[in-house]
Amino acid sequence: MQFEDPRVIRTQTMLKEALLSLLVDGYELHQLSVQKVTKQAQLNRTTFYLHYEDLSDLQRQMTAEILQKVTVKITSLMHNTHNARQEQVIDLLNYLKEQWSIIFVLKQQSTLEQHLFTSFEQMIVVRRHHPMKPKRDMYIDSDIKTASIIGVMMWWLKSDTVHTAETIAQQIEQMNQH
């Protein structure tokens, strides 16, 4: 793991929070300027350009950080036993719920959905070819199974439902067994 200067982390955090604050206040990304974001962060423009090319680069990097953490969580799901899997799905769902407001204001819902689809489809294909897996599941199309799982996850994230991550994880586990 590479060492990163705490000042760099703090500066990048300030810029990210400033961008999010302005987006939450109703600005669209195309309405913002580096000057407006750095003013909100109480930093100067030169500092911004030490870290990012432009506002789109900042948006891409913020999205990439979230997707990277999602990838790590899904990868650990892929290689885990049945017993710990449900806790990991709950952890993934809780993380997605925590990050949803950021994904929403960055207008990256479709990017997240596509990333989830690709990652879960890969996981289903890997599990399908596991030597301990019964062959009866070989006939279930991974696209249909993946679309169902991602559909439930996205519905849960988008709606203001009372269902907990635990309930959704149980539903996903049931879908995964059939």
Among candidate residues 3, 12, 62, the one with its CA nearest the CA of residue 41: 12
β strands within 60-136, DSSP E: none
Task: Tell me the range of 9-13, 122-126, 173-177 where mean pLDDT is highest.
Answer: 9-13
Q: Can you tell me the mean pLDDT for 158-168?
A: 88
Cα 121 → chain centroid: 16
Cβ neighbours, 10 Å, residue 7? 8
pLDDT at 159 over 70: yes
Token duo for residue 11: 């500066």
Termini Cα distance of the chain: 40
- What domains, with CATH codes, occur in the chain? 6-52 (1.10.10), 60-177 (1.10.357)
- Residue 127, pLDDT > 80, answer no
Model pLDDT, residue 178 = 55
| Range name among 57-66, 75-84, 117-126 with the lowest pLDDT average | 75-84
Q: Name the pLDDT band for 1 (thresholds 50, 70, 90).
A: very low
Structural tokens at position 95: 């993380």
pTM, rounded to two decimals: 0.80
Distance CA 100, CA 79 (A): 26
